[in-house]
Structure 1
Amino acid sequence: MEKHATIYRMVTPNHLCPWGVKALDLLKRNGFKVEDKHLKTKEENKEYKEENGYDETPQIFIEGKHLGGYDDLREHLGLGPDPKEGETYQPVIAVFAVTFCMALATSWAMLGTLSPIRIGELFIAFSMCVLGILKLQDLLSFATGFVQYDLLAQRYVPYSYVYPFVEAGAGVLMIAGVATWLAAPAALIVSTIGAISIVKAVYIEKRDLHCACVGGGSSVPLGFISLTENLMMMAMAIWMLVTN
């Protein structure tokens, strides 16, 4: 038996409601024949909500009966609401997963084999570069988060603006295997300060903070993952000093 649904969503030349697109997709993928009603201006969208007492669009009707918005549709389909904002390690997991794959691919392309040592070196160096890029996207926002726990940044705020350049720059030099005399000590210094700062803030003072490791404004909890990032940098720096 064919199922019917109607959706009212905002579609203007300058704005396409993302929740409307997602709701329409869900309806179609769940076998509904959809009557897609467009609210073509902001004024029309506002009037529709005011006339019907709705707080938002899209609004969905199933078999002529009002269901509600996008979250209501997900509940109706047994999916539950979309994940809401909150603490998550997803950004860090994404960085490490991709940089590890990059290290595998680079080792294979350069050496024709999966060298564990070279993979480890590249993985840490690539991770440093990517994490540095994320911080450099918004230096001001990163610095605001960083000074909340980094011991050196608290004493000398300009250090928080230098840190991402050191991290990314050291990663680039480590990938190339050049200027080890500069890259390794720089990485060792900043990562050691970072590790001590995290231990003090999280494990001694028991403070509940967000890590600035993937840039300012992130919802990554400051803790084990952040400490691991710094320990990896320390290990890489020491390894390069010893082997070079």
Structure 2
Amino acid sequence: MAHDETQSHGKTAELHRMETEEHICPFGLKTKNLLKRKGFEVDDHRLTTREEADAFKQKHQVDTTPQTFIDGERIGGYEEVRRYLGLEVPSEKEVSYQPIVAIFSTAFLMALALAWAALDTLWSIRTLEWFIAISMCLLGLQKLKDLESFSTMFLNYDLLAQKQVRYGYVYPFAETFAGILMIAGALIWLAAPAALFIGTVGAVSVFKAVYIDKRELKCACAGGDSNVPLGFVSLTENLIMILMGLWMPIKMYLM
């Protein structure tokens, strides 16, 4: 049931949430903040002991807190309050490009900052190189934070990992290490082939899974816990690594 936000002003919401010495319920605080932002006066009832919380749940036949009541009607927890107010409640399984947007936006700003500090200018070829290299590092870091989950998701589509399972554990280290070397402009003879190899294998694997086999999969590019769909973004990541793997040796040769 969606609630008209214009009618919320001047209304009172009764909120019951846990706040003990050992635990402050984050969803209780988020619910309180949301209700206030939407114009409700919040009658805040803090459950300060486990016994109080258990008694409240037994009385109202609920399994969790916080619980919100409006006009005598129990609305429920944080997500139910969002629905009541007509706000979006993302599903845990809903695909999202938010991690990729965050990573590439941060990488771009870091590249600009690095260019300004090192070259006294915001834009140059080196800025673009740093942007790609930093993106590789950040993407590698996302994979490394939970290597086991990444390698499991990676096995769904990567052709080499399906034949050599250990490759799924090596990939994040190779991507991150190549990115670090490219930021420094050092050991390009090692970094460039690594980027070229993993980018080529990745591009072929993604293209086959998405455009030939027509499979709908999650991409492991932002880590094994992400809901980024496998597709254009994943293919672009690998094509950029191929480009860097080719460009960096060419640049060194031309210099």
Instruction: Encode CA deviations 1:49-73: one digit per residue, 9 max, x unaligned.
Output: 221123432222335x234123343
Cα RMSD after superposing both structures: 1.7
1:133 aligns with 2:141: yes
CA shift for structure 1 position 44: 2.6
Q: Where does residue 35 of structure 1 map in the other structure?
A: 43
- Name the TM-score, length of structure 2 as normaliser: 0.89
The alignment covers a number of residue pairs equal to 242
Aligned in 2, Cα 1:32/1:217: closer, same or farther, shift over 3 Å?
closer
Aligned residue for 1:56, secondary structure, equals coil
Letter in 2 for 1:231: L
Match of 2:203 among 188, 192, 195: 195
Is contact 2:103–2:135 with CA below 8 Å preserved after alignment? yes
Alignment of 1:1-244 (within 5 A): 2-62=10-70, 65-69=72-76, 70-77=78-85, 79-85=86-92, 86-244=94-252
Is contact 1:67–1:73 with CA below 8 Å preserved after alignment? no
CA shift for structure 1 position 2: 4.5
Is contact 2:83–2:89 with CA below 8 Å preserved after alignment? no
Alpha-carbon distance between aligned partners in 2 of 1:182 and 1:67, rounded to the nearest angstrom:
62
- Name the TM-score, length of structure 1 as normaliser: 0.93
Aligned residue for 1:36, secondary structure, equals strand
Q: Which runs of 5+ in 2 are unaligned?
A: 1-8
Is contact 1:163–1:190 with CA below 8 Å preserved after alignment? yes
Aligned residue for 1:68, secondary structure, equals strand
Alpha-carbon distance between aligned partners in 2 of 1:232 and 1:43, rounded to the nearest angstrom:
57
CA shift for structure 1 position 41: 2.9
Letter in 2 for 1:68: I
Alpha-carbon distance between aligned partners in 1 of 2:30 and 2:39, rounded to the nearest angstrom:
15
Is contact 2:111–2:134 with CA below 8 Å preserved after alignment? yes
Percent identity over the alignment is 54
CA shift for structure 1 position 176: 0.4
Aligned in 2, Cα 1:187/1:15: closer, same or farther, shift over 3 Å?
same
Is contact 1:71–1:80 with CA below 8 Å preserved after alignment? no
Letter in 2 for 1:60: T
